[in-house]
Amino acid sequence: MSTDTQTPISPEPQRKNILEEILSGLPPQIRDTLQKFFREILAGIIVVVLAISLWFGYSAYINRQENQAAIAMGMAVQQQDPVKKISALEKIMHQHDHTVVGKHALLLLGAIQRDSGQIESAKKSFIRAKQEFSRDSFLYYSALMGLGYLQEDEAKLDEARQMYSSICEAQQGFDAIAALDFARVSSALGFNQEALEAYNNYLGMKPQSLQLDFVRHQIMKLSNKDKRHGNDSALKKENHG
């Protein structure tokens, strides 16, 4: 697992994470609220959705319906009870389905349903969200990411691996996260060389992440496996010879 050791930042210009770019442009009171949602990979999707939704509601859109939807979204995420939070999000989708924020609520709803163990409901939410966004939108790939996690939950690792691969290739802002997901599933399926390449690609993106020590450890472990496999193959050839 990852450690809390912070890797020194290279003097080369660092490419800012898409989440950091969004949060840096938000008003302090909104940014402080969103910081609570940094907890796991999927939480990154939640932060993106909330940030954009609130930003549209408070800044980019003067439209009254968008403001109302954004306020409802803010109230929904403050609910501590998952059941009440899900109910509030479903209400937003029904009352504000024609708004940008209403569409974003689908992604947040899917994430919370998954965390609550409502796998089938989460799947429906992510599929519907995928249909709402165009393929050139990173929100479309947020929905794919959610579906990939659900496939993992159902032990459909081959399908999840293909999903993460398509997200990596799209390069719509989730390629670093998807690279880790692809590497993890590939390793679990025995595709060690592909996993090793994915981990190296991740390091090549120069991410500022607490995952770096974990990734380097995985690279060492997979490299040693590859060496042992090569030695075993050579030994078998000698014995047969």
What pTM, to 2 d.p., does this model score?
0.64
The per-residue b/e assignment along 219-233, b for 16 or more CB within 10 angstroms, e otherwise, is beebeeeeeeeeeee
CA angle at 35 for the pair 44 and 125, rounded to the nearest 5°: 40
* CATH code of domain 15-154: 1.25.40
pLDDT in tens, 154-181: 999 999 999 999 998 888 778 888 899 9
Distance CA 53, CA 184 (A): 31
When pLDDT is cut at 50, 70 and 90, the band that residue 27 belongs to is: low
Are residues 85 and 54 in contact, defined by beta-carbon separation less than 8 angstroms?
Answer: no
Distance CA 95, CA 86 (A): 14
Distance CA 45, CA 20 (A): 12
pLDDT in tens, 181-221: 999 999 999 999 999 999 998 888 877 777 788 888 888 88
Distance CA 58, CA 7 (A): 36
